[in-house]
Structure 1
Amino acid sequence: MHHNLNHARLWLALLAVSTTSVHCKTSSEDVAALNVMYSSLNSPSKLSGWKSSGGDPCGESWKGIKCSGSSVTEINLSDMGLSGSTGYQLSSLSSVTYFDLSNNNLKGDIPYQLPPKARHIDLSNNGFTGSIPFSVSQMDELSQLNLGHNQLQNQLGDMFEKLTKLKLLDVSFNSLSGNLPQSLKSLKNLKKLHLQNNQFTGSINVLANLPLEELHVENNKFTGWVPEELKSINDLQTGGNSWSKGQAPPPPPGTPPIKHPKKKKEKSVISGVAIAGINFGLLAIIIIIVALCKRKSSKPSSQFTDEERRSHHRSRTPLASQELSTDPGASVNKEFKGGLNSLDSTSIDVKALQKSPSIGVRSSASDCVQSFNDNEFANRLNSRRSASIRITTFSLADLYSATASFGSGRLLGEGSIGCVYRAKYADGKVLAVKKINPSLFEGGAPEEFSQIVSKLSKLHHPNIVELVGYCSEQEHMLIYDYFRNGSLHGFLHLSDDFSKPLTWNTRIRIALGTARAIEYLHETCSPPLLHKNIKSSNILLDTDLNPRLSDYGLASFHQRTSQNLGAGYNAPECTKPSAFTLKSDVYSFGVVMLELLTGRMAFDSSKPKAEQCLVRWATPLLHDINAVEKMVDPALRGLYPPKSLFRFADVIALSVQSEPEFRPPVSELVQALMRLVQRSSMTLREDFD
């Protein structure tokens, strides 16, 4: 009897185990993500089985959901007339490989995070706006990505380096613009590429070595030539572009035949003429100069104060040497000599020129591509390739005169790299001179400074302080525009009782502009440009209180300094300057946003010990509504929309997380802050009328 009872118990236990294995309950992360998605899609009745809270998608056969065990693996909601958005928890769907929401009426931005291990993503034929999220760059399992027939804008980010398994990419029928990113070269398995009906510019040379079977680039603004390697593609559509007429230039000598495209290097083009070979060295230089002489000057930069605007069209003071923007009427010979003098070059190293297959002036190249030839003359010559570059050489004697011999009365600030001085000229023009610490060049090649100047001269964005000129006589200096309003640090922490405090709307606008500047450095520049020194004293304010990020492009110097950031800005992982990543910049920016929220300094030794480090004190309070209201800068006198305040606190909390992998890329912060600025502009009036 006892034996039979034990046997029965064992049988029941086995039955229970087998039953459990058949009816596994869906993982809680997947359930929560689908609950949020259902609510975001406006809880449509046609999604049978779906719930806005709880449920068991795998056990209850929710419409469009397929599972493996307790994990959701497929979501197929194509062509169901869905509206709303997709929700913000898609990153929790870690087992989803197939994600199809095509042919619906979905609006708004594509969510920051998509299912991270997805192989097939189709969001085509919807109403998505904004940018393609940069988080796509980490989805290394992706095989098909279809975002066609939406209303996407901005550039196609440089996000394809890791997507080596991608076979289909479709972004057709959107409003994407700019040049094609260099990382498209990494798509070694790409078979179908649809870029048609956008506003892309530049050449398509970056596609030359891809194993494409379908290429649609029609109805864009592409220029140059269709590479020979692409002309054998069976399904090739190229109409409706601004292709150059006539034959494409010949490849440089030594280039392997077209039949072996993978060994072939991309050609540089100078106004339709490829300069190739040793014998044409001098001709190459003359053609470059003629091309530069013919190009029109760009509009002046918009980042002057009122006084600076008045003086901008006066002649440059005698303290500055020739500008690199050439006089269209100058003769080639005169320009040739003047150009070399202004570049501190006394002779042409023909042997050095021979090392480089060609020196290119690319009329539509990305402002931010940091690729330099090996020899210094080519570096400097290439830095002149855009009419928008207005780099002036300044003599040491003139700078000494303009800064009162770098007197203490002209000192604007002091950092680990060097000091910044105010230079004042007779015509009223005021500039800021960054005098780099000579010790940072010890053991370094003199060409390094030339490379830095060349790199900085290519960076153009409305929220950065752009380079005006440089000096390399005995000492190394960088010259920028001067902003009379000073820095965000000064506005927040050094203002007297009579100063007008920054309003709430101005604060979040400053946060958005700064985020856009960082996004430009991180995601438009190729390779990405680490700042490594983001703090409120490096965010200058123009006459309209728009932010201008300074001190970028100097990370190689920060690498050599014993200190890096001011106290309170360093991310926890940054025990040394070489440990910095893009996510460390995000953390530092989060600290700046905390300063905007609280009016407190990143580190303040005058506070009680528990409150000295702003992040340590504020982070535990950011999710507590009452605590957030208590920590707001008293200078605001309670004038802020509460919803905007709490949303801003949420953005900050994401940015200052101690684990770098959990911090969002800066492109996501831009999207969140854009929504915040739009909402605040609309709600401020109704809140305070």
Structure 2
Amino acid sequence: MIHFHNILVLWVVLLGFFATSVYSKTNSQDVSALNVMYNSFQSRSKLKGWKSSGGDPCGESWKGITCSGSSVTEIDLADLGLSGSMGYQLASLTSVTKFDLSKNNLNGDIPYQLPPSAKYIDLSQNGFSNTVPYSVSQMSGLETLNLGRNKLNGQLSDVFGKLTKLKELDLSYNSITGNLPQSFGKLSSLKKLYLQNNQLTGQINVLVYTPVEELNIENNHFSGWIPNDLKGINIKSGGNSWSSGPSPPSPPGAHRNRGSGKKSGSSNSSVVTGVTIAGIALGVLLLLAIIIALFSRRKRSSSHLLDDDRLSQRKSFRTYSSKDLSKELTSDYKAVSIDIKPVSKSPSIGFMSLSGRLQSFARRSTSVKATAYALADLQVATANFSPARLLGQGSIGRVYRAKYDDGKVLAVKKIDSSLFQGSPPQEFSNIVVNISKIRHANIAELVGYCSEHGHNMLIYEYFRNGSLHEFLHMSDDYSNPLTWNTRVRIALGTARAVEYLHDGCSPSTVHKNIKSSNILLDIELNPRLCDHGLATFHQRTSQNLGMGYNAPECVKPSAYTAKSDVYSFGVVMLELLTGRMPVDSSKRPAEQCLVRWATPQLHDLDALSQMVDPALRGLYPPKSVSRFADIVAICVQREPEFRPPMSEVVQQLVRLVQSSTANMREDFGIGSRNSSAMSSKREDLAASRRLTDF
């Protein structure tokens, strides 16, 4: 009987445990996303209950979190004094319908990934810059979007076409420029629109296709007329450059989406409008007759009118197409021959071969190959640049995975169009040519480009192993960590890539954005440095190019030199050595900045043994680590003049490799470790032998 009682008690305990797990435990994806968010925040003392790792947001009642079952459904962190950013896993919050982080001090770009099922998003009254993220275009259930009172800038993209449930949109008090996107006309449920205090231009005719009832467009640079269809609503329009006189009639179809409650004009105004329409129609007919007569006279004498029109359009860079770019390359590099094969439906849309002397290449002959990709095909291959295909985001644009039916996979870097404002028309063509001529085994090769309808993209080979950053900082407990010799090999390959940019290119190229996320790893874990040749854009962004990677002298991007690249490379070496991120707010204050924490300990052998990445499980040659640390120390010195040139860094890493290979047995020693450890040793020895290939 006692035995049965014990079994019964055990069953009750187990049932209680499983019941708690089922009904209280939060979805693991939600927990992970909130952990990342918490680690990205600063000044987070008001986030009661939140944790940097693990936890149960639903069961533990984390501040601002509302759940339904095991899923997080609402995040309300308004006015909590938060700073920093929001993390990069928001797309995992698939059940969140309300997302409110308004009235904080968050800055940088609005994350490219937002909760995909959100109905209410309020990020107002922060310090966000750049523009509305593209992921918004896929949020078809969105009803309210408030991004007002931030620092958004640049033009609005056509991301609003699928937001047919959006009722309220607030973009006020930013620095948004350009015309209203045509996709505004698809906002078939829009009731309230706030665009005041921006730098918007052009006309507002597209708004007549919406049922908007409350509209504020004050203090912009709008011109033309306020359409008659909008004059009966609650509208504030001061501080613009409106044309005087009666407005022209609304465009066809303007009434189809307007609410039945809109005020209509009087019968007298209808008569006046009718007379005005008749007068305008007569004027248009007369003007058309004159144009036809003139065109008939000039048709025989000028067969290049269409080409002239295209050339005039090309004064604005945003009208470039792939064909236009090829023509621009021809005009800019007169000694270069162009051979473009017919456009096909395959991934290789066209082939452009540049050979001969390039004016900007110091009289060196070269052969440059780049493939012109059609925007329409790239849209299909990236699922219309879907957030699900997003590989990452940097200071100048986003990178998407493009997959074709034949299995070919590419990485497409979509450069932010605002970075071309005020730049010469040939700038993108210059960039394509300059990057195309860079050839090195440890540098990601440019596969092609696309320049159509204001979209400018660079296309690279896709590396399935991702970046060094992912290997070091985003792997779970089940992943195989990089062995010590593989880390040295990655450091040496990256150093050779940077050395090539500094000394092998003419003119010399400063990378200006060296960081672990820009070091891709191929199938054999060889490094491929990317984001090269884009320093011009980095100088135009106010963002910190890589927090924790910038040399002390680089108070702004234009201050970068080759010695600044050496410093950034030293920080990458520190990541390889310690497994830590350059800046980690989850550490105690003295350890948050990697360089500041590690530098005083690099020559202390006892301290160094405690710094080495725990993921290596002690399987590394101590002498090799010590020499590696010595190289790091000279790279991250505060004074640029004391840092070595990259060619010297390469030589020291080569000597380290040679020494490590010769003394591998001595460095590891002979001990009675378990078979698993010995197996790892053999793997490191094999990796060391591969180092001699360099």
* TM-score, length basis structure 2: 0.52
Query: Which residue does 1:342 correspond to in 2?
Result: 302
Query: Separation in 1 of the partners of 2:124 and 2:111?
Result: 14
Change (3 A) 1:157 1:5: same
Code of the aligned partner of 1:245 = S
Quote how far apart the aligned CAs of 1:225 are: 1.2
CA distance in 1, matches of 2:514, 2:352: 21
Determine the structure 2 residue equivalent to 1:284. Answer: 288
* Deviation (angstroms), 1:207: 0.7
| Contact 2:179–2:202, Cα closer than 8 Å, also in 1 | yes
CA spacing shift, 1:151–1:582, aligned 2, 3 Å? farther
Indicate how the Cα distance of structure 1 residues 186 and 580 shifts in structure 2: closer, same or farther if over 3 A, else same.
farther
Residues 284/220 of structure 1: CA separation in 2 closer, same or farther (3 Å cut): same
Contact kept, 8 Å, 1:644 with 1:676, in 2: the verdict is no
Comparing 86-95 and 536-545, the one that deviates more? 536-545
Query: Which residue does 1:309 correspond to in 2?
Result: none
CA distance in 1, matches of 2:170, 2:206: 17
- Map of 1:504 onto structure 2: none
Q: Which residue of 2 aligns with 1:483?
A: 333
How far does the alpha carbon of each residue in 1:155-193 deviate from its partner, in whole angstroms, 9 at most, with x for none?
A: 111101111111110000000010111111111111111
Secondary structure at 1:629 match in 2:
helix
Contact 1:160 1:187 in 2 (8 A): yes
Partners of 2:153 and 2:62 in 1: CA distance: 34
Letter paired with 2:302: S
Residue 647 (str. 1) matches residue 517 (str. 2): yes
1:237-248 to structure 2, matched below 5 A, reads: 237-248=236-247
Matched, 1:87 2:87: yes
Change (3 A) 1:552 1:205: farther
Distance apart, 1:342 and its partner CA: 2.7
Shift of 1:204: 0.6
C-alpha distance in 1, partners of 2:69/2:254? Answer: 53
- Please give the alpha-carbon distance, in whole angstroms, between the structure 2 residues aligned to 1:136 and 1:280: 41
| Aligned counterparts of 2:61 and 2:140: Cα–Cα separation in 1 | 29
Q: SS of the counterpart of 2:161?
A: coil
Percent identity, aligned pairs only, is 40
1:144: how far off? 0.6
Of 313, 317, 340, which aligns to 1:460? Answer: 317
| 1:152, distance to aligned residue in structure 2 (A) | 0.5
CA distance in 1, matches of 2:183, 2:355: 30
1:394 alignment partner in structure 2: none
SS in 2 for 1:644: coil
- Give the counterpart letter for 1:481 in structure 2: S
Q: How many equivalent pairs are there?
A: 443
Contact 1:224 1:243 in 2 (8 A): yes
Residue by residue over 1:592-614, the C-alpha shift from the partner in whole angstroms, topping out at 9 and shown as x without a partner, is: 899678347679xxxxxxxxx96
Q: Which residue of 2 aligns with 1:399?
A: none
- Displacement of 1:85 in angstroms is 1.6
Match in the other structure for 1:114 = 114
Mapped contact 2:539–2:558 kept (Cα < 8 A)? no
Instruction: Say if 2:19 is the partner of 1:98.
Output: no
The Cα of 1:626 is off from its aligned counterpart by 4.4
Q: Which amino acid aligns with 2:242?
A: W
Is the contact made by 2:409 and 2:461 (CA closer than 8 Å) also made in structure 1? no
Q: Deviations over 1:116-162 (max 9, x none)?
A: 11111101011111121111111112111000011110011110111
Q: Does 1:156 align with 2:156?
A: yes
Q: What residue ranges of structure 1 are gaps of 5+ in the alignment?
A: 264-271, 290-332, 346-379, 392-455, 471-477, 490-529, 560-569, 604-612, 654-669
**Contact 1:532/1:585, CA 8 A, preserved across alignment:** no
Contact 1:462 1:548 in 2 (8 A): no
Question: Which aligned pairs between 1:170-569 and structure 2 lie closer than 5 A?
Answer: 170-233=170-233, 235-250=234-249, 281=285, 283-284=287-288, 286=290, 337-338=297-298, 341-343=301-303, 384=309, 390=311, 460-461=317-318, 467=324, 481-483=331-333, 533=349, 551=372
How has the CA–CA distance of structure 1 residues 644 and 5 changed in structure 2, closer, same or farther, with 3 Å as cutoff? closer
How far did residue 671 of structure 1 move? 9.4
- Contact 1:35/1:53 (<8 A) preserved: yes
Distance 2:463 2:410 in 1: 21
Alpha-carbon offset, residue 28 of structure 1: 2.2
Contact persistence 1:83–1:107 (CA under 8 A): yes
Cα drift, residue 637 of structure 1: 2.3
How big is the alpha-carbon RMSD for the aligned residues of Structure 1 and Structure 2? 5.3
After TM superposition, the structure 1 = structure 2 runs for residues 119-130 of structure 1, keeping only pairs within 5 Å, are 119-130=119-130
Compared CA separation, residues 66 and 488, structure 1 to 2 (3 A): farther
Question: Which residues in structure 2 correspond to 1:610-689 (within 5 Å)?
Answer: 615=462, 623=471, 626-632=488-494, 634=496, 636-637=498-499, 644-649=514-519, 684=561, 685-686=563-564, 687=567, 688-689=640-641
Q: Is the 8 A contact 1:146 1:169 kept in 2?
A: yes
Instruction: Kindly provide the amino acid, as one letter, of the partner of residue 297 in structure 2.
Output: K
Q: In structure 2, what is the Cα distance between the partners aligned to 1:261 and 1:36?
A: 43
Residue 102 of structure 1 aligns to a residue whose secondary structure is: coil
Deviation digits for residues 264-314 of structure 1 (CA, Å, limit 9, x no counterpart): xxxxxxxx999976995452253x69xxxxxxxxxxxxxxxxxxxxxxxxx
2:236 & 2:349 partners in 1: Cα distance? 46
Contact 2:351–2:369 (8 Å) recurs in 1: no
Pairwise CA distance, 1:646: 2.0
Please state how far the C-alpha of 1:571 moved relative to its aligned partner. 7.7
* Residues 129 and 151, structure 1, Cα contact 8 Å, conserved in 2: yes
- Output the CA distance in 1 between the equivalents of 2:288 and 2:137: 39
1:209 CA displacement: 2.1
Partner residue, 1:57: 57
The runs of 5 or more residues in structure 2 that have no matched partner are: 261-275, 340-345, 362-367, 381-399, 416-431, 448-459, 472-481, 503-509, 524-536, 551-556, 568-639, 642-694
The answer to whether the 8 A contact 1:179-1:201 is kept is yes
Task: Specify which of 399, 423, 442 is matched with residue 598 of structure 1.
Answer: 442
What residue in structure 2 maps to residue 38 of structure 1?
38
Q: CA deviation at 1:196?
A: 0.7
| Counterpart-to-counterpart distance in 2, 1:614 and 1:73 | 38
Contact 1:166 1:187 in 2 (8 A): yes
Q: State the Cα deviation string for residues 225-271 of structure 1 (Å, max 9, x = none).
A: 111111111x211111111111122468xx679698699xxxxxxxx
Q: By how many angstroms is 1:77 displaced?
A: 0.9
Answer yes or no: is the 8 Å Cα contact 2:512–2:560 preserved in 1: no
Q: Secondary structure at the residue paired with 1:342? A: coil
Q: What does the per-residue CA deviation read over 1:61-85, in whole Å, with 9 as the maximum and x for residues that have no partner?
A: 1111111222211111111122222
C-alpha distance after superposition, 1:420-444 (max 9, x if no partner): xxxxxxxxxxxxxxxxxxxxxxxxx
2:145 is aligned with what amino acid? L
In structure 1, C-alpha distance between the alignment counterparts of 2:188 and 2:61, rounded to whole Å:
38
